Structure 1
């Protein structure tokens, strides 16, 4: 267990909490399907509501660190988890019009939790200590939870309803807040409100001094925009391709495939990086391009109806149907 060796106890407990919270955080996968399915919205309406919620999530991630720096990361995490959990529990009972305002609040709070979690890992490890191992353990735990969550969510939606997805996610988030309150001391140098230094450089000044970080952030926005399509339009595409009697199984296959990278990426990427660090990103780019070409090529494959018509163009299609011709 080299990854755990030297990692502070607080970080290990945070990693466990991140795993448990990620297991129940499955609504983000099925939100779009929920809106166009049980809620009966059009694809356009569902896209707008999902996009507005996404704005809240992005804003929460961007500003959550500021709340932690000013008011304490523990306080930011607990507040965000309580708000997000409470909203998700009642969300199925709200009218559609309220979702435009309520969903961004829940997503914003979830973004604050994510930022606070990462900050707590950083401040819990002394500078120059096992910070790399701590973040590796934390990410491993969170990814492991996300690998379990979507298939579990598919089972909940299939055997109960999509409404129960939000209730389970909300209750799980509230339990995570209770867990975090127990493991994170209310007082202590690692979680106290940091002293404000009026002479410290501003964020924009720090970023301008590191232009490579700005380029990286812009590239992440582009890549993530493409990546997130699997959580918005892709489930609906599978909601259109799937036959009525297999909707649940199609969505379950999607859920499993959509998080398989959580299992495959760490060992494969680490092995390639250890053998040839300079090849990692070129190989990733080639694999992504190949996947795109495969998807485009797959559009030429016949669907169920087309396959039946092709099958019908056999020997009898040339000579006529064996059935009796209608009387003239």
Structure 2
């Protein structure tokens, strides 16, 4: 959450106080977005090798110092500083998820990740309002100073509060019993291999709400006030709904919950086929928000539960990168299609959401059959062991995780 507010105002900052043209500002914003995605994909690797606490502390401090420097740097230096700030922010996101997955026992991870997302949603609800107030009344520079101080404070808090023991050890250490690479571990977990591309697809669909959806509203006579109200509903409902849902559904099949969530996201865009109006837009946002509350926390916890100890960070990085891929892909893909054939965008979004949800539900059904042993000669795939006392290495026999 640390860089989210300043990143939301980056384009305005570059075209306003910094005096860049729209083209240059777009290139710099795009490169910074790529840095964010790259940080998510690689942050877990650092944690597996150097410790998740150490990586979180280092990335938060580096991100904070970079943000603090932004107001004082020449404009040309921003082409290095902003991508670096976003890269360290992505690294920070992946390492914090891996740290939670390492410290929190498997049965409580959904609640833990839901609590993290509640804090993030609270920041998303209040941050843009406060950011706009600071930028317009004072200066954009104060956004970067405030967030830089916040990131440095997170590094300080991590150093003081998070215990160094049990916060992620080096891969292959005796405590972790590291064995095999991450791709070997993924091949042993086919449900995760289905889930990750489904998350990429749904994230491209989900993030149309930030690109083509407001254009669609404007094209049908609804101004920015309607769009802002819908986003506020999204943040507020998530803040109230996500943690209670995680508690209520903690004993339910995670893959089925994720699958239903993906179907709801696709169904939200399908509602737009009924017509353009405030009512259909509100129903669309309600379905989208409910789907998000179901799938995001549950999918994060499921990947953590499936990860072997020595690759927990890399599993979290794969999920974190997949779950934010729409930041780079959704606007150019959706924008190009909306410009070329606007009537086909929402049916395609609904179809892709349905296919992603169906794929995850099918993998849940396959896993259920494997656990019950239905079907003669059906092969089963080894699943990760729960942590044990003692050496923590994999034994000769493995039990399936529910």
- TM bucket (normalised to shorter chain) is 0.5 to 0.7
- Distance of 1:266 and 1:45 partners within structure 2: 36
Gaps of at least 5 residues in structure 1 are 1-21, 242-249, 300-328
Whether the 8 Å CA contact 1:60–1:111 is kept in 2: the answer is: yes
Selected match of 2:270 from 286, 289, 294 = 289
Residue aligning to 1:63: 42
Q: Does 2:83 correspond to 1:77?
A: no
Selected match of 1:36 from 15, 19, 22 = 15
- Distance of 2:147 and 2:115 partners within structure 1: 23
Q: What does 1:205-284 correspond to in 2, within 5 Å? A: 205-225=184-204, 227-228=206-207, 257-258=230-231, 260-265=233-238, 280-284=261-265
Deviation at 1:291, TM superposition (A): 4.4
Deviation at 1:96, TM superposition (A): 2.7
Q: What does 1:1-328 correspond to in 2, within 5 Å? A: 22=1, 25-127=4-106, 129-185=107-163, 187-193=164-170, 195-196=172-173, 200-225=179-204, 227-228=206-207, 257-258=230-231, 260-265=233-238, 280-291=261-272, 294=276
- Distance of 2:241 and 2:135 partners within structure 1: 32
Deviation at 1:251, TM superposition (A): 8.3
- Distance of 2:151 and 2:157 partners within structure 1: 10
After superposition, the C-alpha distances for 1:203-243 in whole angstroms (9 at most, x for unaligned) are 223333444434433343344345556667999x8xx99xx
What is the DSSP-based 3-state SS (H/G/I as helix, E as strand, rest coil) of the residue aligned with 2:9?
helix
Deviation at 1:281, TM superposition (A): 3.7
Q: How does the TM-score come out when normalised to structure 1?
A: 0.67
Aligned length: 265
Whether the 8 Å CA contact 2:49–2:169 is kept in 1: the answer is: no
Residues 266 and 166 (structure 1 numbering): CA distance in 2 closer, same or farther, change over 3 Å?
closer
Deviation at 1:46, TM superposition (A): 1.8
Deviation at 1:36, TM superposition (A): 2.4
- Distance of 2:65 and 2:206 partners within structure 1: 28
- Distance of 2:92 and 2:44 partners within structure 1: 9
Deviation at 1:68, TM superposition (A): 0.8
Gaps of at least 5 residues in structure 2 are 250-255, 282-337, 339-402
Deviation at 1:35, TM superposition (A): 1.9
- Structure (1 or 2) with the larger CA radius of gyration: 1
After superposition, the C-alpha distances for 1:249-272 in whole angstroms (9 at most, x for unaligned) are x9898666545423224656777x
Whether the 8 Å CA contact 1:65–1:119 is kept in 2: the answer is: yes
Residue aligning to 1:312: none
CA RMSD between the two structures: 3.8
Residues 194 and 77 (structure 1 numbering): CA distance in 2 closer, same or farther, change over 3 Å?
same
Name whichever of 47-56 and 141-150 sits farther off: 141-150
Deviation at 1:117, TM superposition (A): 0.8
What is the DSSP-based 3-state SS (H/G/I as helix, E as strand, rest coil) of the residue aligned with 2:119?
helix
Residues 91 and 174 (structure 1 numbering): CA distance in 2 closer, same or farther, change over 3 Å?
same
What is the DSSP-based 3-state SS (H/G/I as helix, E as strand, rest coil) of the residue aligned with 1:130?
helix
